[in-house]
Chain A
């Protein structure tokens, strides 16, 4: 998934006609001051750190300014901050509006119902998890008629909106629904959605885009920046690769088998460090690349657990043997292999010729790799 920073989310909002406060992004204190002086950002204004983590208000990452000088000082203080592990590179400056109510509104997927769900609450401006369940309204939306007028009227009533704000809500819901579908969003969230005068204004924007739709939205694919360098290389090679704190490397195929493998390793006192999901492949070069990538993460021992379906055991064995030859002698680590399924016999034979024994049972092979990581021999 691709999480958009608030200002990027708001650019998407603007494209769909969602009402926003006047504002602009600054990357330096001087730029922040200039945006106020030239009237782009009206005073008084809010200066907000552009980070993905929540809780900015309490964390000192949101400040208020009544003059251009104050806006500069606020930007100075926020830029370069380390907020929940994320360095602040941009601030969003926006006019501070006087509002009469704060609401909550989001659209996301309800997996169980297999329908999008429109979630609203009259209690906006706080973390929605802390709001009492009875104060949260959920309205499923069928993709076939789409969001209908009667559903929108219902939501207005639930939120207690009439007149101008209700008309504003009608247009806003239409915009968000179109955005949710056309941009392939997993989540569109406005918290708070403010009642300002006779209309509504989105004070915050949270937009998450689904990865699988990147073929329709190449512009979002470039925005991912939450990966480690090795995870990034893995992504380019279409290998799922996750780094944790432990010391055992796990190469498996399929998310379920990978998770089951971690469960078993933990049970026997092992500490998985990197796990790498080959997915389905019948290209030995992909296996070689995966193994070399694993080697770069410097594990104490590696557990290869493959159940061959689309991925054939002999393919995995060939790729593995090839990769082992490419790891320098001083960087080698104990390897425990378990290959089952399609072309199992051929695969085991290839491994045997290279001096690797495949242990057929999951329990025994997991115990062997935990022992190897602890300093015993594989």
Chain B
């Protein structure tokens, strides 16, 4: 078992003929992922590293039974690409593309949800379960099969932390990079139940950032429903006060959104809090050593 992806996951790469699409398709295959198809409108019939390319997601699904998509399409075309994937029946889409306008993402998210498709991202590193599959761009070298789940809003900081867990002699069950955009397809609160249900995950490392209230929402969920141990880290404790989204933004996040409020909420929910990324592996190791479940 793993979260969301398995050995049976069949991935279509939208935007496979672009540089990043090609490079990361190769790395996903090196990880062991079944990359069964690529899609680039107008490039149907070509082959990229043995992977057949189609003009549309529908054709790719008909020919290869792809059931997940990894999307590298440039921002101005990403909305259409996502809608196309949903329409073709794809139920998991990882959107790597950055700089997608949030107004587009609102339409993408609500459309996907109405059709039962889960989006991870945008502007995210994706999901990986060592030994099963990777859909996204997290470097293969940081992984080692194990029982630690990782849910993160960051990109490279996720790699740093996952790598730290590996260097400490531990391994990961599944790692999800949610992406740091204002509107994301999967939030902490959406991801936590998946790890709660996963028999291969013993504890979860939650990596947040300042801004928004996703970590406070996560803390609330952990307090009420999550029974596995949580180790949390929030990046940006020393960052200068960010640009606020005007007065209305301050109203929405009243009294939330700073590193202090997030850490306090998570601590209050029973999470072990790491002050720096390099404290995470030790905290994880302590929990593993205790072998205790709350």
Q: Which A positions have Cβ atoms within 8 angstroms of B?
A: 1, 3, 54, 106-112, 114-117, 119, 127-129, 133, 136, 138, 142-144, 181, 184, 186-187, 189, 191, 206, 208, 210, 212-213, 215-216, 242, 244, 252-257, 259-260, 262-267, 272, 279-280, 306-311, 340-342, 344, 361-363
Chain B residues lying within 8 Å of A279, measured Cβ to Cβ, are 98
Shortest CB–CB separation between residue B99 and chain A, in angstroms? Answer: 5
CB <8 Å contact, B102 and A109: yes
What are 17 A-B pairs at a CB distance below 8 A? A109-B182, A109-B245, A111-B214, A112-B217, A112-B252, A181-B103, A189-B246, A206-B247, A244-B240, A254-B157, A255-B155, A256-B235, A259-B210, A260-B277, A310-B20, A341-B141, A362-B276
How far does the alpha carbon of A115 sit from the alpha carbon of B109 in the complex, in Å? 10
CB <8 Å contact, B110 and A142: yes
CB <8 Å contact, A309 and B156: yes
- Which of these, B209, B213, B246, contacts A111 with CB under 8 Å? B213
CB <8 Å contact, A1 and B155: no
CB <8 Å contact, B243 and A307: no
How far does the alpha carbon of A363 sit from the alpha carbon of B249 in the complex, in Å? 35
Shortest CB–CB separation between residue B14 and chain A, in angstroms? Answer: 17
- Contact A256/B209 with A117-B252, A309-B159 known, Cβ cut-off 8 Å: yes
Q: Which of B259-294 contact A (CB under 8 A)?
A: 275-278
Residue of B nearest to A133 (CB): B254
- Contact A259/B252 with A184-B101, A254-B157, A340-B160 known, Cβ cut-off 8 Å: no
CB <8 Å contact, B278 and A111: no
Q: Does any Cβ of A come within 8 Å of B69's Cβ? A: no
Mark B150-172 against chain A: 1 for CB-CB distance below 8 A, else 0. Answer: 00111111111001000000000
CB <8 Å contact, B213 and A112: yes
Shortest CB–CB separation between residue B31 and chain A, in angstroms? Answer: 13
CB <8 Å contact, A136 and B251: yes
How far does the alpha carbon of A106 sit from the alpha carbon of B247 in the complex, in Å? 9
How far does the alpha carbon of A308 sit from the alpha carbon of B252 in the complex, in Å? 36
- Contact A210/B102 with A244-B240, A255-B180 known, Cβ cut-off 8 Å: yes
- Contact A215/B243 with A128-B248, A260-B277 known, Cβ cut-off 8 Å: no
Chain B residues lying within 8 Å of A242, measured Cβ to Cβ, are 240
Q: Does any Cβ of A come within 8 Å of B236's Cβ? A: yes
Residue of B nearest to A265 (CB): B238
CB <8 Å contact, B249 and A108: yes
CB <8 Å contact, A340 and B163: yes
- Which of these, A107, A263, A267, A306, contacts B236 with CB under 8 Å? A263
How far does the alpha carbon of A272 sit from the alpha carbon of B240 in the complex, in Å? 11
Chain B residues lying within 8 Å of A252, measured Cβ to Cβ, are 156
Which 10 pairs between the two chains have the least Cβ-Cβ distance?
A256-B154, A256-B157, A254-B156, A259-B236, A213-B101, A259-B235, A266-B238, A108-B248, A257-B156, A106-B248
Q: Does any Cβ of A come within 8 Å of B76's Cβ? A: yes
Chain A residues lying within 8 Å of B16, measured Cβ to Cβ, are none
Chain A residues lying within 8 Å of B75, measured Cβ to Cβ, are 212, 215
- Contact A256/B153 with A108-B248, A189-B246, A362-B278 known, Cβ cut-off 8 Å: yes
Shortest CB–CB separation between residue A129 and chain B, in angstroms? Answer: 6
CB <8 Å contact, B247 and A189: yes
CB <8 Å contact, B100 and A212: yes
How far does the alpha carbon of A278 sit from the alpha carbon of B61 in the complex, in Å? 36
How far does the alpha carbon of A316 sit from the alpha carbon of B81 in the complex, in Å? 32
Shortest CB–CB separation between residue B169 and chain A, in angstroms? Answer: 16
CB <8 Å contact, B106 and A307: no
Q: Which of B200-247 contact A (CB under 8 A)?
A: 207, 209-210, 212-214, 217, 233, 235-240, 243, 245-247
- Contact A187/B154 with A109-B102, A109-B183, A262-B239 known, Cβ cut-off 8 Å: no
Q: Does any Cβ of A come within 8 Å of B68's Cβ? A: no
Residue of B nearest to A182 (CB): B103
How far does the alpha carbon of A133 sit from the alpha carbon of B142 in the complex, in Å? 46
Chain A residues lying within 8 Å of B20, measured Cβ to Cβ, are 310
CB <8 Å contact, B163 and A144: no
CB <8 Å contact, A263 and B237: yes
- Contact A342/B101 with A119-B248, A267-B276, A309-B125 known, Cβ cut-off 8 Å: no
Shortest CB–CB separation between residue B83 and chain A, in angstroms? Answer: 13
Chain B residues lying within 8 Å of A54, measured Cβ to Cβ, are 247
- Chain A CB within 10 A, most for which of B20, B103, B152, B212: B103
Q: Which of B105-135 contact A (CB under 8 A)?
A: 106-107, 109-111, 114, 125
- Give me 14 other A-B pairs in contact (C-beta within 8 A), A111-B214, A127-B247, A309-B137 excluded: A106-B247, A112-B213, A112-B214, A114-B110, A114-B183, A115-B106, A187-B248, A189-B246, A213-B101, A253-B156, A255-B154, A257-B154, A272-B238, A306-B156
- Chain A CB within 10 A, most for which of B98, B217, B254, B278: B278
